[in-house]
Amino acid sequence: MTNSDPGFDLDSAIVSLEGAGKDGKMLLKLLVEQLSDALGDRIKVVRQGGLIRKSNEIKSVEVKLGDDVMEAVVDGPSIRCTIGHTSGGIRIKSEQVDMPGWLSRLLSVLSKEASQSQATKSALENFVIGGSSPEI
């Protein structure tokens, strides 16, 4: 499964995901639900709420893939997305992007990884093609 694979059109997948989940919060929830197992400790999810009462709502998601750190932070009704590049564990570059740009970069990196990892491939297919929907 790569961007050049005729069975997998990354751009169409992103447009489809955006159309199906105009609510960015729901899209983040789906991303976490579908990709957490495959990403393991490379994904960090912070949920709303305090120490005593945790909410199911996502406050932020951080995904570390190679030298890239992709972060999406829920800020009221909007979501702030950044993509950072690290070298030697130190962030040397960070750019703010919109949700489609963030999602495109994330899915692109994951689609490359999926060619070598069945777990990532299955998780990515479920996310893009439509695995189970998160409960709202």
- Tell me whether residue 40 is in a domain: yes
- Tell me whether residue 2 is in a domain: no
Give pTM, 2 decimals: 0.72
- Tell me whether residue 101 is in a domain: yes
- Tell me whether residue 81 is in a domain: yes
Check whether 2 has a pLDDT greater than 60.
no
- Tell me whether residue 134 is in a domain: no
Band (26; pLDDT cuts 50, 70, 90): confident
- CA-based nearest residue to 98, from 85, 74, 110, 82: 82
Q: 54 lies in which domain range?
A: 10-124
- Tell me whether residue 4 is in a domain: no
Domain count, the chain: 1
Place of tokens 């199906």: 20
H helical segments located in 21-136: 24-39, 99-114, 118-125
Per-residue pLDDT reduced to its tens digit, 62-75: 999 888 999 999 98
Token readout for 43 is 């994904």
What does the mean pLDDT of the chain come to? 76
How far is the C-alpha of 92 from the C-alpha of 79, rounded, in Å? 23
- Tell me whether residue 133 is in a domain: no
Per-residue pLDDT reduced to its tens digit, 27-78: 888 888 888 888 899 999 998 876 676 678 899 999 998 889 999 999 888 8
How far is the C-alpha of 57 from the C-alpha of 28, rounded, in Å? 10
- Tell me whether residue 97 is in a domain: yes
